[in-house]
Structure 1
Amino acid sequence: MKKYKKLIALSMMTAMLTSPAISFADSNMAGMDNGVLDSKLTVPAVIEQRELTKRDLEAIDYAKAIMKDYFGTELKSEDYILDVFYSSDYNDEQFPKDKNFRENISVSFMPKSENGGGGAYVAYYEDNKEIISVSNMNIDYEAKRKMTKEKGHEIAKEFLKDKTDLDLSQFTYKVFEESPYNQEYVMGDYYYQRVHEGIEYDGDFISVTVDLSTGKVVSFYQNYTKSLKFPDATPKLTAEEALKIAKEKFTSELKYVTSPSDEKRAIPVYIIDTAFGDAVDAHTKNIYYFGGPVTIEKFNMTPDEVSNLTKDIKPIKFKAENKGQAVEAANMLLKEVYGVELTPKVEYSEYDPNNVYVTYKDTKAKLEYYVSINISDNKALFMGRMPMYIEGMPYDMPTNQKPVINYKQAYEMAIKELAKIAPEQLKQVDFEQVNYVYDSNPYTPAEYYFTFPRKVESAEFQEQFIDIRINGVTKTVESIGIYWDDKKTFDSLEGLIKPEQAMEKFLSDKSMQLRYTLDYNQTQKTGEPVIKLIYSLVSKDGHYSGSYIDAKTGKYIDYPVMYAEPAVAP
């Protein structure tokens, strides 16, 4: 599955910049002549189908030529499922493109099966066919390195010299500490960050990946803007002054996390939250918010208020001590929550044989439902629904939907629904929800998502929680999950250091680094790239020390298990 995940990630790299129209082609279809596609498209997912055009064929041919030029790889259309993305076909009034936006095209070659070899991906600008990204995924991920990472860097530099006209004097090579877990990984990744007057600019960069078992470059990506106006490189305050301003926004919160040495035990830690203070404008001396000005809305209920809200709710009771009972319980849950009765298909979870996983298909509504129940502890662990792909019947994805309920109404609805499915867990959670509304993003979601973490005494244990998605358009539940383990033990909250001591420890190895950043909020408003000079929080020695401080020893906790594997269905 590794090559599939890599291809999806590469496709999303372009899709995040633009959400283009999509077409998929199965080159096995009738109408193909010597690799030339002129048939209707079929799709491996819930995506649009349409006739291939001359434009599609030109894009596919150009991508093939690039793969041959860059990697010496010849691709045959009939060996792959092909998809083509066009940014020019996508326009959203809520997220307009700025006037300097360059339309792009991307083509993915996806193997028809896991044994069908690697895939490929090419993305380029439409105006001059300049390459944005190119990847050859025909890789043996189990292979061993046959050269050092330094040798791979020499290969990467030679590739950039031969295949691009990028001026590397405008970039600095970034050396990242390699995790012990990655030292045997066959890939070597090399990054170059753009600099201006000796100051790094985070908006432009280059990356090259080399297969260290073969010495071949397997991927290249660039994000480079030729015409940029940088503000004055002289800051109005020092790094020390910037840190003093920033730390006023930092918070130290007591929480539980799984012990790194004992997964059955949770220990108290202070988690330092820097989300709204880790950057300072080097000219105005104000806190810099990357998403633009933000309004924080908090919703909370006391246990008494929750009790009053849910007093008329009748919990759905069921018994599921074996597979048969679990299926009966799943059928009942489906009817109670979604009001439908369908034929179940039963599986056991590959993660836990005690999890009975039941799926249902409603071909008329083009929806698939799923319910997972653990027969070892008699719990509904996960249930939900999603659009179902039926070959030849593409799901009509709704557009421009607007919710008929607001965040607070959805919050109250979520608590009522959870009172049906998870009444016992609901008595042990923190009900506070924080909603961040960015001025730069007026988008109103069609769905609301709530997570209620488990609370032990006065500390949250975020690895265990119940969550729910509410459709704001239809006022219905999309999914409910129970991530819970009653067997977990919790250390006492006695003998803790003070929050101020934890903050002092966190700040002891931190400083502020001067850099340029693209102001997305102002860029969207003006239609021109707007760059700001800011100070951002970094570790003094470049080693990421994390933000978890042991609440008893005052020491950093390395690699805490933030999300222990939950006892849930896949």
Structure 2
Amino acid sequence: MVMNHRKKLVALAAAVMLTSSLPAAAFAESANIPAAAAASGDAAVSDGGMDVPAAVKVSKEKAESLARQMVKIPKEYTLQGASLSADALAGGKRSVWGLDFVYKVNGKNKGSIYVRLNADNGQLLDYSTYLDNPSAKPTYPLKVEREKAQQIAYSFLSDIAPTYKDQVKFNPEYGAQQLPPLTGEVRHTLRFDRIVNDIPYVDNYIELDVDSEGHVLRYSLQWDDTIKFPKVDAKLTADEAKKKLIEQAKPELRYILPYNAQAPSKPVLSYDMGAFAIDAVTGKEVQSGYINPSLVSETPVADKPLGEAPAAVNLTEDQAKKAVLAAFPIPSSAVFSGSSYYENTDESSGATVANWRLDWELKNGKETVGSASATINSRTGLISSFYSYPYNNQAVSAKPALSYDQAEAKAVDAVKKQLPWIADELYIVKRDKSQYDPDKVPHIDSYYFNFVHKINGATADYDNVNVTIDANTGEVRSYDASINPYKYPEAAPKVITPAQAIEKWMTYYRTELTYYLTQNYVYQGQPIPVEKFKVMMAAGEIQPTDVEYNTDAQLIYRLVPRQLDESIFLDAASGEWKNRETGDVTQLEKPKATDIDGHWAQRQLELMVAYKALDVKDGKVRPNQIVTRGELIKMLVLAMNSGRSPILYGASEDAAASTSFKDVGTKNQYYVYIESALQQNLIDIGDGSFNPDGKVDREEMAELIVRALGYNSLANYEDLFNISFKDAGKMEKKGQAAIVVGLKIMTLSGGSFQPEKQVSRAEASAAFFRFLQTRAELQEAPLRN
């Protein structure tokens, strides 16, 4: 018989039917309970009906009634718990009800709905829902695309928050998925920003999640009506602000590690520049980027290397123990309590790492007064960590014996001793010493320091060294060192200039005018800076009730990054944008094909171009060109992996040993896809050649698709199928052809399958689009062969 097109539409569970009356609210993947609802506030009540001591206008019973009405909670959902808490606002606080509704079948939780309401006016603040429905399946293409989801979201907030709907504006960039989805399991995250004085205040908004079936899964109203916004008449223009931002930008050279699935990771020199903001009136910086080079010392801990890099060794436990005892202060009275040895392969470098973990008990006579431990690389002798924990059973002096500067010198000495060969590459991070002022901060028992690793002035993002010094004894209490054994050029490589880096980054960021909240503190009638407030609080000099505070809204211009479908970095040498995970060259603007408008497979081709399964050269995708074996495998693997590139583990420095096919090296653009297809048994090793540039015929594509669906074992039983193809006698894979034709993934031409006909790029794209549809429709799949 010919295999029928399987559309196994399984009936939804009873819980689904119960919630189907919700206007747009029933099918969530997980409950999303805001932290504020769980925090204790003025009072808390359970479902047991205890009296609420707090004076709120909306009772628990009224809150439950409003919640059931607003989001149409079915009666089968019972109120399991309720809490009354307080949200802090800029100008006060508000009382909030948190209500947890559950639906149970035979004692098992099958669904829950969580609601937060303003306890003073009944306004819905948050809503989320969870449904345990393992039989639910996605549909492809999506029933509801992002544009339709926006209409559903606006209709929902018009019903639920009519007071706010005219004060918001849809943010088209937030949550926008740049790549079209390859699965029906999609959430559209939509945000409506608050507009004040025709300016968006992006920290107040209404946010919703709408799934591809059109259900609202989550709703959140983040809003503070107590904020006072200034009316600014004179401010910088957008062009003036951009100029100021460029003047104050601080690009920094950093070594990063792209995750390169084709080979072990190697450091790449990048130019990084964090987003920051300036005052919209004065142009002065008010929000720093995440990179702050000014905190790092300008000089290293030594002006030259103080020793040689560790040589290859193979430490025994006793040798490892002696090395730790020689390096760090473990008293002779300490008792060695055990060790463990372990090896593992570092996936980023491909090297095998072997470590000893050693433990001691600190003793005072027979009494255990603390513990110590260390980890040491048995192949290099490098101590990567040391911790000493004396139990706090002794009095702490009012003032530490060591000053901050003395402790810093101790930390620097420890680093020089442990890492002498890179002493000229380690820079200490400067701290605000007021945090350790003994006149203001009581009970200082230790000082904490960290160091960054710079090679020829560029920070190694992945390396770090941290040291804690005992404030009374001056001993090292903890030490952590992560220094990767990568090779770097002896001299600084030639890179683009900082000005060129800024110019590139300004094409990635856009300039946005918005409001920014600042807290002002007043103590004894005098304003105090926030830093002083924190120090005085930490010292116990003042209590929160001693200080008056207010919140001002400040108008700022800020840099906002593009919404991209990939994480990127700027290569400092070439000035090119590259993918942060793979290191491949990419671009901010995605290429668009000019030769597929009006083509019968336009949508399918656009999908493959978006995922870079097909390349675009000179603006053309060449839809009628014969697809190559490499392109076809990439289409298949991306389709099976929801558009994500596969990850290959255990890559070796030996390129030849890392490849399964002799004609597909690690540098080949299809290497990771071909290796992934082999691992998933979608292709066979054969004679050891793959021929990635070879052409593909229809029979070969049919077999690939059937293997991806998991039906290849079934296809080998040809007697199960009524194969009536006119050209069946020319075929070796009759069962596979019967399946793809039966599922309408591939079609016949005049009753013939045409197994030897080569497949065009357009035909391959269309076949894999239908593969995605069919995969979503099939509820169950046998084990892949």
The TM-score, its normalising length taken from structure 2, stands at 0.47
AA at the equivalent of 1:257: I
C-alpha displacement of 1:303: 3.6
- Counterparts in 2 of 1:364-513, with a 5 A limit? 379-382=382-385, 408=405, 411-418=408-415, 422-424=418-420, 427=423, 429-435=425-431, 450-468=449-467, 480-487=479-486, 493-508=492-507, 512-513=511-512
Distance 1:105 1:174, change over 3 A: same
Question: Which residue of the partner structure matches residue 535 of structure 1?
Answer: 557
Q: CA offsets per residue over residues 428-481 of structure 1, 9 Å max, x none?
A: 643141447999xxx979886544232223322121222346687998877543
SS at match of 2:515: strand
Q: CA offsets per residue over residues 111-135 of structure 1, 9 Å max, x none?
A: xxxx988887655555556544343
Distance 1:356 1:495, change over 3 A: closer
Question: Which residue of the partner structure matches residue 74 of structure 1?
Answer: 77
C-alpha displacement of 1:550: 2.0
2:571 paired residue among 550, 555, 566: 550
AA at the equivalent of 1:518: L
Contact 1:453 1:463 in 2 (8 A): no
Q: Work out the CA distance in 1 between the residues paired with 2:249 and 2:470.
A: 34
Distance 1:303 1:434, change over 3 A: closer
Q: Work out the CA distance in 2 between the residues paired with 1:24 and 1:355.
A: 53
Q: Work out the CA distance in 2 between the residues paired with 1:337 and 1:109.
A: 58
Q: CA offsets per residue over residues 320-342 of structure 1, 9 Å max, x none?
A: 75799889989999983999758
Contact 2:296 2:428 in 1 (8 A): yes
Q: Work out the CA distance in 2 between the residues paired with 1:87 and 1:365.
A: 45
Q: Work out the CA distance in 2 between the residues paired with 1:226 and 1:520.
A: 16
Contact 2:313 2:379 in 1 (8 A): no
Q: Alignment RMSD, CA only?
A: 6.2
Deviates more, 1:339-348 or 1:490-499: 339-348
SS at match of 2:93: coil
Q: Number of residue pairs matched?
A: 488
Q: Work out the CA distance in 1 between the residues paired with 2:482 and 2:100.
A: 36
C-alpha displacement of 1:172: 1.1
Q: Work out the CA distance in 2 between the residues paired with 1:410 and 1:119.
A: 54
Identity %: 19
Deviates more, 1:187-196 or 1:96-105: 96-105
SS at match of 2:273: strand
Q: Work out the CA distance in 2 between the residues paired with 1:465 and 1:268.
A: 17
Question: Which residue of the partner structure matches residue 128 of structure 2?
Answer: 135
Contact 2:456 2:491 in 1 (8 A): no
Q: Work out the CA distance in 1 between the residues paired with 2:99 and 2:333.
A: 42
Q: Work out the CA distance in 1 between the residues paired with 2:97 and 2:371.
A: 32
Contact 2:228 2:553 in 1 (8 A): yes
1:100 paired residue among 74, 78, 92: 92
Question: Which residue of the partner structure matches residue 568 of structure 1?
Answer: none
C-alpha displacement of 1:194: 0.3
Q: Work out the CA distance in 1 between the residues paired with 2:386 and 2:52.
A: 41
SS at match of 1:519: strand
- Counterparts in 2 of 1:63-462, with a 5 A limit? 70=71, 72=74, 74=77, 86=85, 99-102=91-94, 123=116, 125=118, 127=120, 130-138=123-131, 144=138, 146-150=142-146, 151-176=148-173, 177-178=176-177, 180=179, 184=183, 186-212=186-212, 215-232=214-231, 234-259=233-258, 261=260, 263-273=264-274, 278-289=276-287, 299=297, 302-304=300-302, 336=330, 379-382=382-385, 408=405, 411-418=408-415, 422-424=418-420, 427=423, 429-435=425-431, 450-462=449-461
C-alpha displacement of 1:193: 0.7
Q: CA offsets per residue over residues 233-270 of structure 1, 9 Å max, x none?
A: 54433111122222222123223222565652222222
Q: Work out the CA distance in 1 between the residues paired with 2:255 and 2:224.
A: 44
Deviates more, 1:527-536 or 1:299-308: 299-308
Q: Work out the CA distance in 1 between the residues paired with 2:191 and 2:121.
A: 25
AA at the equivalent of 2:144: T
Q: Work out the CA distance in 1 between the residues paired with 2:89 and 2:192.
A: 26
- Structure showing greater relative contact order (alpha-carbon pairs closer than 8 Å, 6 or more residues apart): 1
Distance 1:455 1:285, change over 3 A: closer
Q: CA offsets per residue over residues 295-334 of structure 1, 9 Å max, x none?
A: 96654654448999xx9xxxxx998757998899899999
C-alpha displacement of 1:107: 7.8
Q: Work out the CA distance in 1 between the residues paired with 2:265 and 2:511.
A: 38
Contact 1:254 1:271 in 2 (8 A): yes
C-alpha displacement of 1:204: 0.9
C-alpha displacement of 1:191: 1.1
Distance 1:514 1:201, change over 3 A: same
Which of structures 1 and 2 has the bigger CA Rg?
Answer: 2
Q: Work out the CA distance in 1 between the residues paired with 2:560 and 2:127.
A: 31
Distance 1:387 1:221, change over 3 A: farther
Distance 1:257 1:83, change over 3 A: farther
AA at the equivalent of 1:264: S
Distance 1:103 1:324, change over 3 A: farther
The TM-score, its normalising length taken from structure 1, stands at 0.62
Gaps of 5+ in 2: 1-28, 103-107, 347-351, 362-366, 393-397, 523-529, 531-546, 584-785
C-alpha displacement of 1:170: 0.7
AA at the equivalent of 1:100: G
Question: Which residue of the partner structure matches residue 527 of structure 2?
Answer: none
Q: Work out the CA distance in 1 between the residues paired with 2:569 and 2:469.
A: 32
SS at match of 1:431: strand
Question: Which residue of the partner structure matches residue 17 of structure 2?
Answer: none
